[in-house]
Amino acid sequence: MSANNQADSSAPKALIVDDSLTQRLLLNHLLDELGYEVTAAKDGQEAIDLFDPEQFDVIFMDIEMPVMDGIEATRIIRKTLADRFIPIIFITGGDSDKYLDECIEVGGSDFIKKPFNANILSAKTRSLLKIRQLYNKQTRQKAEIEAFQEQETQEHEAAAAVYENIVGTGYMQSPNLHSSLSPMSKFNGDLLLCAYTPADKLNVLLGDFTGHGITASLASAPAAEIFYGMTAKGFGIREITTEINFKLHKLLPVNMFLAATLACLDRENHNLSTITCGLPEHLLFCTESGDIKTILSNNLPLGIIDSPDLQLIEHHHHVRSSQQLIMFTDGVIETENDEGQAFDMIGVEDCLRLGRESCFDNILQALDAHRGQQAQQDDITLVRLSCDFSAEKWGLHELNNKPVHIEPSNWKTSSTLDFNTLKRLNPVPALVNSLMEIQGLTPFRESIFLVVTELFVNSLEHGLLNLDSSLKFSADGFAQFFDLKQQRLEELSEGNIKLIFTHAPYNNGGKLTIRVQDTGDGFEPTNISTPLIDNQQYSGRGLELVKTICESLEYTDGGKQATAVFIWQND
């Protein structure tokens, strides 16, 4: 910032440019009387040579002079001043009126007529100096704002990088998930997360925070950490939703919340579970038949009420590979056209029916066309979750075979869960985690998780709860099966499940024996298992998978005890 040399304390400085010595002396005298410090030049060229923008507050310029006239000198001085302002007052008299237009054009600020009148001179200079002060103040403020904006941009960029790292950590691409995100700023108020559980289920979270930009995305970080952390440990979407709600309720101000949907795609059961919390309705669309099933929001958005009061409603949909779940945030259906009409659900459904295979692109194109010249008004996120379970799309995830050397040891641990505990929680994630701790079996986590889950779930569903798995085979069966499971679990008044883990060194690694016992009536394991013929199997693949992973699997005691042996090797 250039110094404002007309500081209140020091005398203002004037430059007089005139070829007439008499005029120079006269003006010098008058300005001296007004308290100015005066410097004089006899023509335009000398004025330019003398001129230093830091040194003068006002210039008096004659028009007609030898060597260089006042108009040319003013043009040059204005150029050197750039965005600084120093008033230049033209001295007029005789026939110089004809130059007035030109004087203003090159940057003259005012005129003063010969012979000089002391009062007029005083008034003019005072008013021009006031303008100069205002101008300088404005220039200074502009520079401050620019510096602030620059700093803010840099901070935003740094924060956006941190945000990307947190939300993107562990982000796993899924061939089943396609999305289009158009955030309004560097920070996205919309959030899309996906990850596979150790039991090979695909968890997806689509969320939309109140507002957009930095405030909206601030709370994305804890939500993402919970989602990834709990999915990796094998928790279901109900537990994850409850935990995110708990955290956001603690963190967010009263007027902020997260509208979200959590979905879990279960290949094993060809089931899609959804917990919808305040996003616009989703569409379950069949690319073969063109059928559209609407999935409405039936829970409060997250972060509004405390988790114990949150009675989450979860829906289960039996799905085929030809089905897709189309989800979006309200930016999609609220996109307005030139007439202010919203795109709305009918617009979305039309797109789906028009091009079944490329429905996703159709929606995006239609949205662009609808918006026309209008600017984007909200974050827009569009998500398509394909229920295609074929091997190419899905496939078993590669088991993590990172070479690690583990010293195998002998140990045994067991847990007994009574009926009350079973009503409250799924013990598998915590138990499997403790096995990881004891023996450092993390590289085999997915396999062990799958085995423990299968044996435990069978004991619970078929042993203690006496559920018939043939229910799951029909189209709406899974939802019925689940409802019945919930009902029987709530009614359960006795019984327990015991899980025993025994480990011993074996060859170049170890042998983990997983035994699950229940106090139910027993069941015939072949009734709940069907051979692993292809990937289109509806249900019952679980035990077959366990057999391929384990060395052996055996049901004894009339189905009341399952024993699986898992063998691992050091590389």
Partner 1 sequence: MSISSQTTDNKLTISISGRFDFGIHKEFRSAIDAINQQTVHVFVDLRSTEYVDSSALGMLLLLKSKMNNQKESISLINAKPDVKKILEIANFGQLFTLN
**Interface residues with partner 1 (CB under 8 A)?**
208, 210-211, 254-257, 259, 277-281, 296-301, 304-305, 330, 334
Complex with partner 1: residue 162 or 313, whichever CB lies closer: 313
DSSP secondary structure letters along 496-522: EEEEEEEEEEETTEEEEEEEEEESS--
| 554 backbone dihedrals φ, ψ, rounded to 5° | -140, 135
Strands 561-569 and 315-318, by their bridges, are unpaired
Distance in Å, CB of 226 to partner 1, minimum: 21
Query: Which is nearer to partner 1, 103 or 259 (by Cβ)?
Result: 259
Q: How far apart are CA 547 and CA 554, in angstroms?
A: 9
Question: Residue 256 or 431: which CB sits closer to partner 1?
Answer: 256
Q: Is 426 helix (H, G, I), strand (E, B) or coil?
A: coil
By C-beta, is 5 or 215 nearer to partner 1? 215
Could you give the angle at which helices 445-458 and 428-439 cross, rounded to 10 degrees? 140
Q: Which is nearer to partner 1, 74 or 299 (CB)?
A: 299
Token pair in block for residue 268: 């094993």
CB-based contacts of 129: which residues, under 8 Å, 6+ apart?
6, 12, 57, 58, 87
Can you tell me the distance from the alpha carbon of 270 to that of 538, in angstroms, rounded to the nearest whole number?
A: 6
**Residue 333 vs 351, nearer CB to partner 1:** 333
- Which of residues 74 and 276 has its CB atom nearest to partner 1 in the complex? 276
The distance of closest approach from Cβ of residue 179 to partner 1 in the complex, given in angstroms and rounded to an integer, is 20
Residues 259, 254: Cα–Cα separation, whole Å = 14
Which lies closer to partner 1 via its Cβ, residue 304 or residue 450? 304
Contact 226, 243 (CB under 8 A): yes
Q: Do the Cβ atoms of 460 and 422 come closer than 8 Å? A: yes
Sheet holding 561-569, edge to edge: 411-418, 496-506, 509-518, 561-569, 552-556
Give the nearer residue to partner 1 in terms of CB position, either 278 or 540.
278
- Give the separation between CA 539 and CA 481, rounded to whole angstroms: 12
Distances (CA, A) of 506 to 396, 503, 565: 27, 9, 12
Name which of 255 and 410 has its Cβ closer to partner 1. Answer: 255
Length of the chain: 571
Residue 445 amino acid letter: R
Question: Could you check whether the bond before residue 115 is cis, i.e. omega within 30 degrees of 0?
Answer: yes
CA 422 to chain centre: 36
